[in-house]
Amino acid sequence: MSTITTEPNAHADDHHHDAHHHRPPAGLKRWLYTTNHKDIGTLYLLFALTMFFIGGAMAMVIRAELFQPGLQLVETNFFNQMTTVHGLIMVFGAVMPAFTGLANWLIPMMIGAPDMALPRMNNWSFWILPFAFSILLASLFMEGGGPNFGWTFYAPLSTKYSGDSTALFVFSVHIMGISSIMGAINVIVTIFNLRAPGMSWMKMPLFVWTWLITAFLLIAVMPVLAGTVTMVLTDKYFGTSFFDAAGGGDPVLFQHIFWFFGHPEVYIMILPAFGIVSSIVPTFARKPLFGYASMVYATSSIALLSFLVWAHHMFTTGMPVFAELFFMYCTMLIAVPTGVKVFNWVATMWRGAMTFEVPMMFAIAFIVLFTIGGLSGLMLAITPADFQYHDTYFVVAHFHYVLVTGAVFSIIAAAYYWLPKWTGHMYDETLGQWHFWCSLISVNLLFFPMHFVGLAGMPRRIPDYALQFADFNALISIGGFAFGLSQLLFVWVLVKCIRGGEKATNQVWEGAEGLEWELSSPPPYHSFTTPPHVK
């Protein structure tokens, strides 16, 4: 199998394949067989974009149903399938593959490596994903429909009261997990072994650091998820009783195992975003990142603490008070390193020569709105308060501020920031600004009122609601449709940029490269050129 190369790719076994024809394979073959990190990064990003729209279509079904009280469009079981598959697709199909695509594109270039360390495994880890999601989506067309137990698939809903699509769901999650583990191994081996001479640990760009830490989290928790779904499978089809009290099991055990995976997982979905914002903010502030070392330590401490907080999802399951206090304080502790990061980003912008191109707009929106999500998370950490918030729309508001205006906004910011590098063309700045303002206004119309209906007691995951929530829900749904449609502007920007446009220069963001980075320690290399210390 030959490789496609846009830069020299030092794999010995390629020579004897390419001996006859010195042209790399074209068309479909190029993408199927590629071991080039840039091609694989592109595949991941396009796959994530596709899944983002499929998952978004499901969210629009949910919001159309909730536009008015009463049951309009869909029957209850289908509504439950939509909430479940929307969550699974957005987490495992959109956010995680998008970050993996960015890792593939950028990490080798940022550390001066010729490619990822394990290029064939890289190809494999991408190509199993379309199969995983085809299986998940195909399950929706089974008799009895797809998985309908929520993306967290709590037992006994997933073990006793679910249809036969559960088996397909479990199989698809296994394949997603295998892909994640292979991707993570690849990132770790690449960063440990392929750094250019002079690229010491504390000189690595923060995006590389955040991904390294994320990769260790993935390797630690994906096997836990694999264990969880396997236990669900055997409880449902093979007569075990892990989660069945009648057979000596415990349904709360499911929650402990699931959230031991699930809490570090939500940090897997935000740490690379921190790395992206730490690349973008210094560029447009024309200043080195404030507090580089503290950012590295803060990221590491967030990752470590993420393993000590899982049961804050379970305050209402009747834990001993000591346990509730422990998980409450550990959860609040995570606010400290996160606050350090926000402080450092603001300090980087402070008195900088700021310009506001689209990547910077999304990065600033990220900082403000992610902080809102962080503050509502702090509220949810307070055990007695959580008794009230639990399973209401307040929780939905919280995690969408973290994952949409957090993770998704950072991915969009990264796309605008590195598009000139990827395509050789500048994107259309005016269209990009339109995309930003439409997204910003609609996303807040979509998620901010959810705090209010949640505090007033509206339960999540239910297709109907009490009359007093009607006005807010209409607004929320309008925000949802507007946000979904705004993303079509993004696709337009992408297509225009890929097809041509103004040529990108070596110095894409005016003045950003002209700084004497060497004055700062270490030099934060964001560059489209060779970093100063690698020359």
The candidate with the shortest Cα–Cα distance to 159, out of 96, 258, 239, 82, is 239
Does the annotation count 286 as an active-site position? no
Per the residue annotation, which of 312, 398, 435, 451 is the catalytic one?
312
Per the residue annotation, which of 39, 65, 115, 235 is the catalytic one?
115
Does the annotation count 200 as an active-site position? no
Does the annotation count 267 as an active-site position? yes
Are the beta carbons of 364 and 343 closer than 8 angstroms? no
Are the beta carbons of 433 and 39 closer than 8 angstroms? no
Per the residue annotation, which of 3, 139, 278, 477 is the catalytic one?
278
Per the residue annotation, which of 158, 179, 331, 383 is the catalytic one?
179
| Whole-angstrom distance, CA of residue 219 vs CA of residue 307 | 13
Does the annotation count 180 as an active-site position? yes
Does the annotation count 393 as an active-site position? no
- Phi/psi of residue 92, each to 5°? -90, -20
Per the residue annotation, which of 124, 127, 151, 434 is the catalytic one?
151
Per the residue annotation, which of 34, 180, 228, 279 is the catalytic one?
180
Q: How far apart are the first and last CA of the chain?
A: 34
Does the annotation count 39 as an active-site position? no
Are the beta carbons of 237 and 168 closer than 8 angstroms? no
For residue 425, the SS3 value is strand
Per the residue annotation, which of 265, 324, 357, 428 is the catalytic one?
265
Question: Any residues with CB less than 8 A from the CB of 70 and at least 6 apart, and which?
Answer: 464
Does the annotation count 22 as an active-site position? no
Are the beta carbons of 243 and 254 closer than 8 angstroms? yes
Does the annotation count 312 as an active-site position? yes
Q: What is the CA radius of gyration of the chain?
A: 23
Give the angle 407-390-397 at the CA atoms, nearest 5°.
35
Per the residue annotation, which of 203, 313, 400, 451 is the catalytic one?
313
Q: Which long-range contacts (CB under 8 A, 24 or more apart) does 352-356 make?
A: 352/284, 352/285, 352/286, 352/287, 353/285, 353/286, 353/287, 353/511, 354/284, 354/285, 354/286, 355/284, 355/509, 355/510, 356/284
Q: Please state, in angstroms and as integers, the Cα–Cα distance from residue 359 to each residue in 9, 246, 315, 366, 432, following that order.
A: 31, 55, 39, 10, 9
Does the annotation count 230 as an active-site position? no
| Whole-angstrom distance, CA of residue 297 vs CA of residue 285 | 23
Per the residue annotation, which of 63, 263, 400, 435 is the catalytic one?
263
Question: Any residues with CB less than 8 A from the CB of 255 and at least 6 apart, and which?
Answer: 154, 313, 314, 317
Does the annotation count 151 as an active-site position? yes
Does the annotation count 461 as an active-site position? no
Per the residue annotation, which of 105, 267, 292, 310 is the catalytic one?
267
Does the annotation count 338 as an active-site position? yes
The token duo for 383 is 């055990």
Residues that are catalytic: 86, 115, 151, 179-180, 263, 265, 267, 278, 312-313, 338, 341, 460
